[in-house]
Structure 1
Amino acid sequence: MELEGHYREHGLLIAGRWQSATADNGQVSINPATEERLGYMPLATPAQVTEAIDAASAASAAMRKLTPWERTALLRRAATLIRERAPQLARIVALETGKPIAQANGEANASAESIDWFADEARRVFGMSYESRVKGGRYLVHYEPLGVVAAFTPWNFPLLLLARKMGPALAAGNAIVIRPSNEAAGATMGLVRCFVDAGFPEGAINLVIGKADAITPTVMADPRVAKISFTGSVPIGRQIVEMSAKTLKKVTMELGGHAPVIVHRDADIDAFAHLASLGKFRNAGQVCASPTRFYIHESIFDKTVKALVERSKALRVGDPLQQNTDLGPLTTSKRREAIERLVDEAVSEGASVLCGGRRPSQSGRGWFYEPTLIANPAPHIGLMNDEPFGPVGTLNRFTTMDEVITEANRLPFALAAYVFTRSMRNTLETTERLQAGVVGVNTFVASTAETPFGGSKDSGFGREGGPNAIRDYLDTKFINLELADDEPLDATA
């Protein structure tokens, strides 16, 4: 019940007014580490969603009137508030999702960095002017806000993924309607509150929480919503793309992955084992760019696997509110059940569990699962084909470059991939042949505020972050300027 007051103070945000929930009209929020009640989240009705779009539509005029420097100042204030409130925001994330507090605090500060980046980008939306084919004429290219945009975000990075959407949307001069995952609604409330307190125009930011069937169809059917930015699963992403066609909305899709990791024979084994144990099990593996399929050259397979297993066994599973916790619980009981089914299938098909593969023996309540590594899984099983989104990694040998590239690119996912090598030749050939929107070489860092993040194939399209992201929140206007033959050069004449 620790967040009950936070939920009561906030709730839905529509036209500048917070609307909280009660036990009578809300949905209970559960702490995944203790399975205790945190409080009640509001459930928006379709009518309230329409009210939020009404408010955003009205506020888009005020947003359009703000100068780029004014938008920069507002975003700067929001980023400052996020940094000041990072400890509180991180605690909410840890309580709602089970993310270890140290990782949650890092997410809060990364969110502020993203907002700071787009605060600068607000002043750098440069148009163009150049000579036309007509003597004395000019071609002008001008960028304008779309008006109303909508952001759909998941629970695994409730602060950062929303910041990546709010930053460019507001920097470009749009108003926004936000629909977060119910599992992390309180964290979203806290982040949105920073923008409200920063002084954005009333109605420019709206937050609707609740069931998808009460929110998504209303947002998608309204022609005033010009753009959707969605982060989530492939099946839901497909549905949103299909719905967007009816009103021809612009769409950005980030739909997850199943990232391969290629460890060449010349890799630094100790460095790889250290980074892989942290990268694989960060946020209990509930990361769309998480490394999941490890392909290790046969000449170093045994030594590398031994080092990785030792590192993984040393990770601390426990209370996400403790600073030294490496893995908290999975965010939902359904997620843990899905992981258990995938692991059971792998074992039944002959794979070897080298560590983990079960719930921690010392845990009572909470949706915990041990860091798990599985060697030599059959290629047809679920773990090798479906995004596990949990604390499980698979380990396989490879012999040749062609063999491992074919296997790495076999799946329809193309979000992230990773390479470990000390050879520039291996680096260039592997990164050029891998199909992925993001490739890390000797690192599992997949994104920063100033770099583009996104995938292709079933992992979606469009990019978030980096210098081009703001363009997806703008319309391009071409103006062909020709002076009338009898127009005086001096306008006062």
Structure 2
Amino acid sequence: MGLSIIPHLISDAASTTGVQIKKVVRRGVILQLQYPTPLVLVASPFDHPTLAAVRPSKAAAAVAAAASRALLGSGPSIASPWPRNRRSRAAASSSAGAGGSRRSGAASPSSTRPPRPPSVRPAALPPVALPRPLRQHTASALLNSAFCFVCAVNGEGDIPAATAEDVEIAVAAARDAFSRDGGRHWSRAPGAVRAKFLRAIAAKIKDRKSDLALLETLDSGKPLDETNADMDDVAACFEYYADLAESLDEKQRSPISLPMENFKSHILKEPIGVVGLITPWNYPLLMATWKVAPSLAAGCTAVLKPSELASLTCLELGAICMEVALPPGVLNIITGLGPEAGAPLSSHPHVDKVAFTGSTETGKRIMTAAAQMVKPVSLELGGKSPLIVFDDVDIDKAVEWAMFGVFANAGQVCSATSRLLLHEKIAKQFLDRLVAWAKNIKVSDPLEEGCRLGSVVSEEQYEKIKKFISTARSEGATILCGGARPQHLRRGFFIEPTIITDVSTSMQIWREEVFGPVICVKEFRTESEAVELANDTHYGLAGAVISNDEERCQRISKALHSGIVWINCSQPTFVQAPWGGNKRSGFGRELGEWGLDNYLTIKQVTKYCSDEPWGWYQPPSKL
């Protein structure tokens, strides 16, 4: 059964329910039906695959039900448990650049309709063979036209699993784009030229915000409110670096003051070259943008490898780049596993720099590979960030920041303030309120309105978090709240907001990054004790302090060994401010002007201006 059957089924279903549909637009796993007002359905990858109404209404539910019965012999599941979110290796090999047409097979309804498929249960559906992507050196992604259909029908999806051969193609495309015609079309073009493309990408992101946010939620389990905010940040990041690309022109040939009048000197800021960008699954498109936008603004060309657990919005970014006519080879996107795609990219001799966000262990391996060629790297790695709360605070206000610091995005945040340090005078009252607030969090299908805690990204991550909690219990800690699956969600990778007390500094839960909705708590008496506990970690990404004593906050902000400090809050992130850590949390800074500097090299140009000889050597005798 081909992709083109789906619009026909939708149209037939609509006609039986009295809904007049003007057209069906297929965008990823999203089927947008235009009738007097837009109706959006999702080809849902739940355990019982259906077409589900995203914006529930009687019309939407009726069409979803009829189409689902025709497609699978079942009704819609509008508020289903979250999907298994599995990924398997693609049956066909992948390539760099664009793989075939963007959405081949997604035909609009026509007068000649194929016969309806028989009504069968999901388990009886045959696997769909994946077409081999065409090998084209273009400024886009590996686009697999069969992926979304497989996801919609079987509850599982395939994305291309790139190999070292594909990395070679991608790097060659990026290298060619960097040096083509002496770089005049990209690397040596005025910053204003690159800014035009970045603003065009931002505009497309804004136009497709709701579609991209929905796709991100379906792929990662994040609440839809969070992914909508992420898309705003993605567009803002491209716009910000468009501005910096333009201002880069003004900073070229900046003069250097010298002590000798017969010399003049200036600097040139030049793109570092071809960069390898390896990004994580917790903020899939946003974390990719933090690297893609500044690297392109600087004039680099790039090979992006997103996490295999959440690649879809990055592939959509590739499609957007094609639509704005980004020059071929400037951005190449490969999907696949770390050992098979990420490792060949980080060790490739023609990649001039690697920027990585992910685990500390993977960061070590990237450093080792890069060191063989003395290749620069920037690393944004793990964290175990502290939040210090003193006894002079508004407790409910502080409690909300403590929760936001570790429960947002289901705690899958590298900077999560997951070590809570409470002044002993307020500890009991604070914990009582923290438990009450935590129990009030809406944990649900991320598509539900008001969801504040969705699923974690994968079964592996789910089991890892549960293991951390069970180990903490076995080591003598108290699970004060949460620690298990919510009772109303029988399936999916959901974990309750978890608060752990009676923790010692030697426990695994205190020392290691959990990357889940888990906070552990210790008490302190004095400011110096709080700072000592806060700094007692191998990590140094972020830290926070909440107090009404401004001088105390300033002292602690200087004393914390971290790259980021928040005062009276946790986790605010702005594209204008630098982001990065110390110690085992990595080095280098993203965002702000520092993010642009990541992808620039500085060249000194010095000129001798005098008409007189230099006069260091005695000239030979004239014969």
Name the SS of the counterpart of 2:605 in structure 1: strand
Deviations 1:97-137 (A, max 9, x none): 10000001111111111111111111222132235455443
User: Which residue of the partner structure matches residue 229 of structure 2?
Assistant: 106
CA contact (8 A) 1:29 1:183 kept: no
* Residue equivalent to 2:211: 88
Asked whether the 8 Å contact 1:176–1:206 carries over to 2, the reply is: yes
Q: How does 1:237-276 map to 2 (within 5 A)?
A: 237-276=363-402
Q: Is the contact made by 2:220 and 2:281 (CA closer than 8 Å) also made in structure 1?
A: yes
Amino acid at match of 2:451: T
User: Is 1:429 paired with 2:555?
Assistant: yes
Shift of residue 217 of structure 1? 3.2
- Compared CA separation, residues 401 and 18, structure 1 to 2 (3 A): farther
2:439 is matched with which residue: 313, 324, 340? 313
Alpha-carbon contact 1:275-1:443 (below 8 Å) kept = yes
By how many angstroms is 1:44 displaced? 1.2
Which position in structure 1 is the counterpart of 2:451? 325
User: Gapped runs of 5+ residues in structure 1?
Assistant: 488-493
How far residue 475 of structure 1 moved from its aligned partner, in angstroms, is 1.4
Which residue in the other structure is 2:164 paired with? 46
**Partner residue, 2:118:** none
Q: In 1, Cα distance between the equivalents of 2:30 and 2:164? A: 26
Give how far 1:51 is off: 0.5
Secondary structure, in 3 states, of the residue corresponding to 2:520? strand
1:67 is aligned to 2:190? yes
How far does the alpha carbon of each residue in 1:222-270 deviate from its partner, in whole angstroms, 9 at most, with x for none? Answer: 2221111100000000000110011222211000201111001112211
User: Aligned AA for 1:120?
Assistant: D
Q: What secondary structure, in the 3-state scheme, does the structure 2 residue paired with 1:159 have?
A: helix
Which position in structure 2 is the counterpart of 1:441? Answer: 567
Name the SS of the counterpart of 2:356 in structure 1: strand
Greater relative contact order (Cα 8 A, min sep 6): structure 1 or 2? Answer: 1
Shift of 1:364: 2.1
Q: Residue 406 of structure 1 aligns with which residue? A: 532
**What's the TM-score, normalizing by structure 1?**
0.92
CA 16–480 in structure 1, closer or farther in 2 if over 3 Å, else same? farther
- Cα pair 1:255 1:460 within 8 Å, conserved: yes
Distance 2:464 2:597 in 1: 38
Task: Write the distance in 2 (CA, Å) between the matches of 1:369 and 1:224.
Answer: 43
How far off is 1:442 after superposition? 1.0
What is the one-letter code of the residue matched to 2:96? I
Identical pairs, percent:
31
Letter in 2 for 1:48: D
Residue 600 (structure 2) pairs with residue 474 (structure 1): yes
8 Å CA contact 1:349–1:378 kept in 2: the answer is no
Give the corresponding residue for 2:494: 368
Change (3 A) 1:376 1:58: same
- Root-mean-square deviation (Å): 2.8
Instruction: Give yes or no for contact 1:110–1:160 (8 Å, CA) kept in 2.
Output: yes
> 1:490 maps to which residue?
none
Is 2:97–2:333's contact at 8 Å kept on the other side of the alignment?
A: no
**Correspondent of 2:342 among 216, 221, 229:** 216
- Equivalences for 1:156-167 in 2 at 5 Å? 156-167=282-293
Per-residue CA deviation, residues 442-487 of structure 1 (Å, 9 max, x unaligned), is: 1113421100000000000000001222112111111111247389
Q: 1:473 to 1:18 in 2, by over 3 A?
A: farther
Equivalent pair of 1:416/1:446 in contact (CA under 8 Å): no
SS of 2:309's equivalent?
helix
Gaps of 5+ in 2: 4-26, 32-86, 103-127, 134-143, 614-623
Task: Report the structure number with the largest CA radius of gyration.
Answer: 2
- In the TM superposition, what whole-angstrom CA distance separates every residue of 1:398-425 from its partner, at most 9, and x where no partner exists? 1011111111101110001111101012
Counterpart contact for 2:278–2:342, Cα < 8 Å: no
Counterpart for residue 472 of structure 2: 346
Q: Counterparts of 2:210 and 2:326 in 1: how far apart (Å)?
A: 23
Q: State the alpha-carbon separation in 2 of the partners of residues 116 and 253 from structure 1.
A: 24
- CA gap 1:247/1:473 in 2 versus in 1, 3 angstroms: same
User: Counterparts of 1:48-197 in structure 2 under 5 Å?
Assistant: 48-60=166-178, 61=183, 62-125=185-248, 126-127=251-252, 128-130=254-256, 132=258, 134-197=260-323
| Partners of 2:261 and 2:310 in 1: CA distance | 59
Compute the displacement of 1:160 (Å).
1.1
Match of 1:328, as an amino acid? G
Aligned equivalent of 1:457: 583
- CA-to-partner distance for each residue in 1:24-60, whole Å, 9 max, x for gaps? 8799989xxx996242101112111101000000111
**Residue 14 (structure 1) aligned to one of 87, 96, 120:** 96
CA contact (8 A) 1:12 1:42 kept: yes
TM-score, reference length from structure 2:
0.73
Question: For residue 284 of structure 1, what is the amino acid of its counterpart?
Answer: A
- Give me the whole-angstrom Cα distance separating, in 1, the residues matched to 2:94 and 2:286: 20
Match of 2:106 in 1: none
Residue deviations 1:169-220 (CA, integer Å, cap 9, x gap) = 0000111000000111112111232233222101101001112222233223
Shift of 1:15: 4.1
Whether the 8 Å CA contact 2:95–2:166 is kept in 1: the answer is: no
Structure 1 residue 65, shift from structure 2 partner: 3.7
- CA distance in 2: counterparts of 1:269 and 1:56, whole angstroms: 53
- Give the whole-Å Cα distance in 1 for the aligned partners of 2:565 and 2:445: 32
Residues 278, 306 of structure 2: 8 Å contact kept: yes
Query: What secondary structure is seen at the aligned counterpart in 1 of 2:187?
Result: helix
Q: For the residues of structure 1 that align with 2:567 and 2:512, how far apart are their CA atoms?
A: 24
- Contact 1:416-1:439 within 8 A present in 2 as well: yes
**Cα offset, 1:14, TM superposition:** 2.8
Q: Which moved more, 1:214-223 or 1:455-464?
A: 214-223
Q: 1:81 to 1:349 in 2, by over 3 A?
A: same
Asked if the contact 1:13/1:206 (under 8 Å) is kept, the reply is no
Partner of 1:37: 155
Q: How does 1:228-243 map to 2 (within 5 A)?
A: 228-243=354-369
Could you say if the C-alpha distance between residues 151 and 369 of structure 1 is closer, same or farther in structure 2, counting changes exceeding 3 Å? same
Shift of 1:377: 1.6
Deviates more, 1:269-278 or 1:397-406: 269-278
- The alpha-carbon distance between structure 1 residues 378 and 137, as it changes in their structure 2 partners (threshold 3 A), is closer
Q: Kindly indicate whether the alpha-carbon contact (under 8 Å) linking 2:387 and 2:402 is maintained by their aligned counterparts in 1.
A: no
User: C-alpha distance in 1, partners of 2:257/2:188?
Assistant: 29
- Asked if the contact 1:22/1:42 (under 8 Å) is kept, the reply is no
- 8 A contact 2:94–2:132 mirrored in 1: no
Cα distance in 2 between the residues matched to 1:13 and 1:173: 24
Shift of 1:13: 6.9
1:355 aligns to what? 481
**What's the secondary structure of 1:469's corresponding residue?**
helix
Q: Deviations over 1:338-372 (max 9, x none)?
A: 11111112222222222111111222221111111
